[in-house]
Amino acid sequence: MCGIVGYCGPRRVVPVVLEGLRRLEYRGYDSAGIVYLENGKLIKHRSEGKLSNLEMIIDSAIIAPAHIGLGHTRWATHGAPTTNNAHPHSDCSGDLVVVHNGIIENYHSLREELKSKGHRFSSETDTEVLAHLIEEYLEDDLVSAVKEAVGRVEGSYAIGVLWTGLPDTLIAVRNQSPLVLGTSTEQGTFLASDIPALLPYTNEVVFLDDMELAVLKADSFKVYSLISGSLLDKEVKTINWNAGMAEKGGFKHFMLKEIFEQPQAITNTVSGRINLESGSVELPEVNFGKEDIGRIDRIFLVACGTSWHAALVAKYWIEKFAHIPVDVDIASEFRYRHLLVNDRVLTVSISQSGETADTLAGIRLARKLGSKVITICNVVGSTMTREADGTVYTHAGPEIGVASTKAFISQLAALFLFTLFLAQKKRTISPEKSRELGKALIDIATVVEQELPRIQADIVKLIDNFYDCRDFLFVGRGLSFPIALEGALKLKEISYIHAEGYASGELKHGPIALIDKEMPILALVPQDDVYQKSLSNVEEIKARQGRLILIGTEGDSHLRKLTEDVIYLPKVPDEMNPILYTIPAQLLAYEIASKRGCDVDQPRNLAKSVTVE
């Protein structure tokens, strides 16, 4: 989704804004722009495509002695990704500019109204309406004009405004699209859609909530409620991420770096939460006591994309160990179906960003219907964590690659902890079993760490025969089924190869018709409780000459008889297989995409944080 960066302070604004935009590139975008105020005039540059195009045209502006400005990366919604549609957008006078994330739903009628009043539009975007609407209300008080303008607007927005009439001030407004302020006595005041843009300068941040307006100056900021009009006392939070965490650190891509950070992500997520002597799991931020659990007779897990796959794994765990029925929903479906949710239902949202529009809407709905809401989330202070009754933070650190890897693995770790937590509160597992499972979770980080380089080497050896194929199937049973879905999603999103994931047992109900000697099929066949069944499905594929890649348990010599392309993984407790078996699936997708020369970290059409419906 779009990215906003704003700055006012002692530094030269252009490099600060460009660096911020670079750090938001992962959000996905197709054009970019920047504006700064120099000698009382707004200087604006915009370009299609990557940020490097913008950098090329503003080469000389890098040294402009300007100290206030805004930047934007646009992910096209209304109007093609052209220079003309790129932000910032100006009013008729050219003295006021706006950058915007989100969608103005009533832009068409506003545009007609403004046109009839003589405003001249130069783009196809919904955003430009905002610039003209503010101009319409502006006399000499920018804050009042912005308030009046947003009062007319329906939809979701995070906006930044700069006006020559108020040359030391940026105005920001948030409604259903994330916006965060950064503050530092030495460095100045910052505005951004996400924390990584702020990390080179400050760790002190203020999250804006919906219907809040911020006034930013170099040495101060004020936040007002758009509902009550009152000045708010906002909490300044310290983020324990650093700028280096959002850099590639010698890896070719963020995605590869993040795959290799997974052992640490598991350890960080688990550490301090399991007592290995008593077996007990402590999740204090969850705000969920014994009485709450006694009341719950069903759990809804709600998420999108990769986070939804984590939810599918958790269903198996929670039902097995905590004996609570679990429904798993794609958030965009959950929010529009007839929900049988009440105060006996616990809703758990799973989200790396904590800002995904559909998931957020889902939990708001569930709360309205009386359900308690817990979120499994990676971003401290994100909207979901603020709206949920409790949070289990994953501690994956900033995830920059658009394709989720370490966030997924840490979601699995957090969901396993949550399973043990529920099972202990319900007394459905013994302390011995808790200890055994807790230890398995801690140990899996070491197993992944030891195996990663070898798995990568094995994958690199086999992809020559597969990287240029047109289609791919991924299959697995039981706990491996969601991992098959995740493997297929990873491959399709970063390599653009058509890939589908299936439960192995489903093959003969349709997809088996696709199998011939051209079709690659990656099958997950750990020696678990459904091993024999999985093997029968693999035999069916073999009988139809499918090109098998098997991922299975070390020492399982039978697999070699079925294909040369086997990746062996150590035997670990069955419950940990989803974590371990995800690694080769991720690496297969990564190595294939990399060999095909794809833009692995920023695949086409995708956004990291999907803040619109």
| Beta carbons within 10 angstroms of residue 471's beta carbon | 14
Convert residues 401-430 into a mask of x (bound to ligand F6R by CB under 6 A) and - (unbound).
--xx--------------------------
Segment 284-323, which members bind ligand F6R (CB under 6 A)?
A: 304-307
- SS3 state of residue 468: coil
Q: Out of 147, 372, 490, 608, pick the active-site residue.
A: 608
Structure tokens at 237: 């939070």
Closer to ligand F6R at the Cβ: 274 or 374? 374
Candidate residues 73, 127, 268, 356; the one interacting with ligand F6R per rule CB under 6 A: 356
Segment 470-499, which members bind ligand F6R (CB under 6 A)?
A: 489, 493
Closer to ligand F6R at the Cβ: 455 or 489? 489
Candidate residues 123, 267, 347, 352; the one interacting with ligand F6R per rule CB under 6 A: 352
Stretch that binds ligand F6R, among 335-343, 353-361, 415-423, 556-564 (CB under 6 A): 353-361
Q: Out of 2, 8, 304, 598, pick the active-site residue.
A: 2
Q: Rounded to an integer, what distance in angstroms lies between the CA atom of residue 425 and that of residue 452?
A: 35
- Does residue 602 bind ligand F6R (CB under 6 A)? no
Stretch that binds ligand F6R, among 265-273, 351-359, 437-445, 590-598 (CB under 6 A): 351-359
| Sole residue written with tokens 């401290």 | 380
| Sole residue written with tokens 């959002």 | 246
Q: How many helices (H) and strands (E) does the chain have?
A: 18, 25
Please, what is the minimum distance in Å from the beta carbon of residue 600 to ligand F6R? Answer: 11
Closer to ligand F6R at the Cβ: 483 or 489? 489
Closer to ligand F6R at the Cβ: 221 or 393? 393
Please, what is the minimum distance in Å from the beta carbon of residue 300 to ligand F6R? Answer: 16
Q: Rounded to an integer, what distance in angstroms lies between the CA atom of residue 31 and that of residue 86?
A: 6
| Sole residue written with tokens 């803040």 | 611
Stretch that binds ligand F6R, among 2-10, 42-50, 243-251, 347-355 (CB under 6 A): 347-355
Closer to ligand F6R at the Cβ: 85 or 404? 404
Q: With beta carbons less than 8 A apart as the criterion, state whether 269 and 417 touch.
A: yes
Please, what is the minimum distance in Å from the beta carbon of residue 42 to ligand F6R? Answer: 34
Closer to ligand F6R at the Cβ: 124 or 500? 500
Report the residue number whose CB is nearest to ligand F6R: 305
Please, what is the minimum distance in Å from the beta carbon of residue 303 to ligand F6R? Answer: 6
Stretch that binds ligand F6R, among 150-158, 349-357, 443-451, 535-543 (CB under 6 A): 349-357
- Does residue 359 bind ligand F6R (CB under 6 A)? yes
Closer to ligand F6R at the Cβ: 216 or 488? 488
Q: Rounded to an integer, what distance in angstroms lies between the CA atom of residue 153 and that of residue 226?
A: 13
Q: Rounded to an integer, what distance in angstroms lies between the CA atom of residue 574 and that of residue 597?
A: 36
Q: With beta carbons less than 8 A apart as the criterion, state whether 162 and 42 touch.
A: yes
Segment 517-576, which members bind ligand F6R (CB under 6 A)?
A: none
Q: Is the N-terminal amide bond of 178 cis, ω within 30° of 0?
A: no
Please, what is the minimum distance in Å from the beta carbon of residue 174 to ligand F6R? Answer: 18
Please, what is the minimum distance in Å from the beta carbon of residue 547 to ligand F6R? Answer: 25
Q: With beta carbons less than 8 A apart as the criterion, state whether 515 and 612 touch.
A: no
Candidate residues 31, 175, 177, 351; the one interacting with ligand F6R per rule CB under 6 A: 351
Q: Rounded to an integer, what distance in angstroms lies between the CA atom of residue 505 and that of residue 559?
A: 18
Closer to ligand F6R at the Cβ: 89 or 309? 309
| Sole residue written with tokens 């927005």 | 157
The residue type found at 428 is: T
Please, what is the minimum distance in Å from the beta carbon of residue 487 to ligand F6R? Answer: 11
Closer to ligand F6R at the Cβ: 403 or 459? 403
Stretch that binds ligand F6R, among 92-100, 346-354, 506-514, 545-553 (CB under 6 A): 346-354
Please, what is the minimum distance in Å from the beta carbon of residue 494 to ligand F6R? Answer: 8
Q: With beta carbons less than 8 A apart as the criterion, state whether 350 and 363 touch.
A: no
Quick one: which of 94, 69, 98 has its CA closest to 7?
Answer: 69
Q: With beta carbons less than 8 A apart as the criterion, state whether 498 and 492 touch.
A: yes
Query: Can you say how many angstroms the Cα of residue 187 is from the centroid of all Cα atoms in its chain?
Result: 28
31-38 and 68-74: which strand pairing?
antiparallel
Q: With beta carbons less than 8 A apart as the criterion, state whether 311 and 338 touch.
A: no
Stretch that binds ligand F6R, among 203-211, 348-356, 416-424, 443-451 (CB under 6 A): 348-356
- Does residue 371 bind ligand F6R (CB under 6 A)? no
Tally the C-alpha atoms within 13 A of residue 163's C-alpha that lie toward its C-beta: 22
Based on the residue annotation, tell me whether 248 is a catalytic residue of this protein. Answer: no
- Does residue 135 bind ligand F6R (CB under 6 A)? no
Q: Rounded to an integer, what distance in angstroms lies between the CA atom of residue 578 and that of residue 61?
A: 50
Phi, psi of 162 (to 5 degrees): -135, 135
- Does residue 383 bind ligand F6R (CB under 6 A)? no
Q: With beta carbons less than 8 A apart as the criterion, state whether 568 and 560 touch.
A: no
Q: With beta carbons less than 8 A apart as the criterion, state whether 296 and 421 touch.
A: no
H or E stretch covering 330:
strand 326-330
Structure tokens at 268: 């960080």
Please, what is the minimum distance in Å from the beta carbon of residue 359 to ligand F6R? Answer: 5
Q: How many residues bind ligand F6R (CB under 6 A)?
A: 15
Give the residues across from 157 on adjacent strands. Answer: 102, 175
Please, what is the minimum distance in Å from the beta carbon of residue 609 to ligand F6R? Answer: 6
- Does residue 353 bind ligand F6R (CB under 6 A)? yes
Closer to ligand F6R at the Cβ: 288 or 308? 308
- Does residue 610 bind ligand F6R (CB under 6 A)? yes
Please, what is the minimum distance in Å from the beta carbon of residue 470 to ligand F6R? Answer: 21
3-state per-residue secondary structure call for 93-146:
CCCEEEEEEEEECCHHHHHHHHHHCCCCCCCCCCHHHHHHHHHHHCCCCHHHHH
Quick one: which of 301, 299, 575, 303 has its CA closest to 422?
Answer: 299
Based on the residue annotation, tell me whether 377 is a catalytic residue of this protein. Answer: no
Closer to ligand F6R at the Cβ: 2 or 489? 489
Q: Rounded to an integer, what distance in angstroms lies between the CA atom of residue 491 and that of residue 500?
A: 9
Which residues belong to the active site? 2, 608
Interface residues with ligand F6R (CB under 6 A) are 304-307, 351-353, 356, 359, 403-404, 489, 493, 609-610
